[in-house]
């Protein structure tokens, strides 16, 4: 009896397998290499010991470097990539436009401003959850403001949405610069703010992992609950309404999830731009627009993108280049490419 392997070999599964292999390889490199190289045998022993699967003796210095230094950095990078890519999928689906993303429409800038205010006012130093709360609330407020500006009589204009996002990015950027100017009077505060705005995974701890893990799981759970409605909503709002989709509830819930993802990611990594623009667009061109497939695969690509960008700035580039700068250098030209490609019309491809 011959088996039809075409049923098992699909573009989605091939791409998922490739991304998983890249993620495992990048994760291994991220944990094993650095200023203190770790032998593979020692690496596995430490991880197994921490997971209570090994009771032998390990080097305590190496154990601290691996488990308390590099592992949190790796996991935070993976979750940040997943969060930003998923947020981009949501926004591109809700607004029916491949150029919509947290960075482009100002949500990332809003979250950054909220976090900067938390640092400047000393709230971040008093409580670890103050910064993520401020970032998430500010991202929600920015999203609501953009949506209000772009919506008239129940219809959301995509061109106005993008223009409003650009305008708010400028305004919020100016407000952030003003806070930086005030913070510059205190060198330590100003240095923390500027470094954080560049996007960075240095000195991440397990507390940061718990923060972004909670926002990621909560928001992705909510997104998957509404993912079928999102697919219908992408066709046409009138069709969605005729099929029984609560358009307002679905759209608001999904946008809340995207803001939660963006705010949670930015709260632990700083501003890492364009992941939510690049990853969904690439994956959509390969496997299609079904968000049930698009969201998990784009999330994997986002994680791979962040991990390898971090590896590049940490192991290869000899200057103190921040990961957010690198992603912006890559994402800026990609956004210009999308503008040129879609300059004749603003529609979902």
pTM equals: 0.87
Q: How many CB atoms are located within 10 Å of the residue 123 CB? A: 16
- What pLDDT is attached to residue 344? 55
3-state secondary structure of 43: helix
Burial of 286 (0-12, 13-18, 19+ CB in 10 A): middle
From the list 260, 225, 294, the residue with the least C-alpha distance to 83 is 260
Q: Which contacts (CB < 8 Å, 24+ apart) does range 172-181 have?
A: 172/106, 172/109, 172/110, 172/112, 172/113, 172/142, 173/109, 175/113, 176/109, 176/112, 176/113, 176/116, 179/113, 179/116, 179/117, 179/120, 180/116
CATH assignment of 71-341, among 3.40.190.10, 3.20.20.30, 1.20.1250.20, 1.10.3470.10: 1.10.3470.10
- What pLDDT is attached to residue 343? 59
- 38-52, 60-74, 280-294: which range is least confident on average? 38-52
Q: How many CB atoms are located within 10 Å of the residue 157 CB? A: 15
Largest CA-CA distance found in the chain, in angstroms, rounded: 77
DSSP for 91-129, written as a single string = HHHHTT-TT--TTTTTHHHHHHHHHHHHHHTTHHHH-TT
Mark out the alpha helices in 101-236 (DSSP H runs). Answer: 107-120, 123-126, 130-150, 158-183, 187-197, 206-225, 227-235
- What pLDDT is attached to residue 82? 96
Rounded to 5°, angle at Cα 114 from 189 and 136 = 135
Token pair, residue 213, equals 């893990």
Residue 152 phi/psi, 5° resolution? -140, 125
- Name the residue with tokens 């990853």: 279
- What pLDDT is attached to residue 223? 94
Alpha carbon distance 30, 311 (integer Å):
6
Token pair, residue 170, equals 């400028």
- What pLDDT is attached to residue 99? 74
Please compute the mean of the pLDDT values over residues 234-254 and round it to a whole number.
84
Give the pLDDT band of residue 25 (cuts 50, 70, 90).
very high
Quick: pLDDT tens for 15-24. 999 999 999 9
Give the pLDDT band of residue 349 (cuts 50, 70, 90).
very low
- What pLDDT is attached to residue 346? 46
Quick: pLDDT tens for 111-165. 889 988 998 888 888 888 888 889 888 988 998 888 888 777 767 676 787 788 8
Please compute the mean of the pLDDT values over residues 233-249 and round it to a whole number.
84
Quick: pLDDT tens for 184-236. 677 677 777 877 788 888 888 899 999 999 999 999 999 999 999 999 988 87
Token pair, residue 303, equals 């994680």
């Amino acid at each position: 009896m011959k088996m039809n392997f075409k049923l098992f070999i699909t573009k989605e599964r091939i791409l998922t397998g490739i991304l998983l292999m890249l993620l495992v390889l990048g994760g291994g490199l991220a944990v094993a290499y650095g200023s203190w190289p770790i032998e593979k045998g020692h690496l596995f022993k430490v991880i197994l010991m921490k997971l209570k699967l090994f009771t032998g003796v390990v080097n305590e210095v190496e154990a601290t470097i691996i488990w308390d230094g590099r592992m949190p950095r790796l996991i935070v990078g993976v979750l940040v990539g997943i969060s930003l890519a998923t947020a981009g999928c949501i926004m591109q689906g809700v607004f029916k436009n491949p150029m919509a993303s947290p960075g482009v429409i100002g949500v990332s800038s809003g979250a950054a401003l909220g976090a900067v205010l938390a640092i400047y006012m000393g709230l971040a130093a008093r409580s670890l959850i103050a910064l993520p709360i401020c970032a998430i609330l500010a991202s929600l407020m920015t999203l609501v403001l953009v949506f209000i500006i772009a919506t008239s009589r129940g219809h959301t204009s995509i061109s106005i949405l993008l223009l409003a996002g650009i305008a708010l990015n400028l305004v919020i950027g100016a407000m952030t610069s003003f806070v930086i100017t005030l913070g510059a009077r205190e060198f330590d505060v100003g240095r923390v703010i500027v470094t954080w705005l560049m996007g960075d995974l240095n000195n991440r701890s397990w507390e940061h992992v718990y923060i972004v893990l909670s926002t990621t799981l909560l928001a992705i759970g909510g997104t998957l609950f509404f993912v079928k409605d999102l697919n219908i909503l992408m066709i046409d709002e009138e069709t969605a309404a005729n099929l029984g989709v609560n358009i307002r509830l679905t759209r608001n819930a999904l946008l809340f999830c995207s803001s939660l993802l963006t705010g949670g990611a930015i709260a632990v990594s700083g501003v890492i731009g364009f992941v939510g623009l690049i990853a969904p667009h690439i994956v959509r061109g390969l496997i299609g627009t079904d968000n049930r497939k698009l969201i998990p695969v784009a999330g994997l690509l986002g994680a791979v993108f962040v991990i390898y960008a971090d590896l590049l700035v940490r192991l290869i580039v000899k200057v103190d280049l921040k990961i957010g700068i690198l992603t912006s250098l890559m994402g800026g030209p990609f956004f210009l490419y999308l503008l040129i490609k879609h300059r004749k019309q603003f529609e979902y491809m």
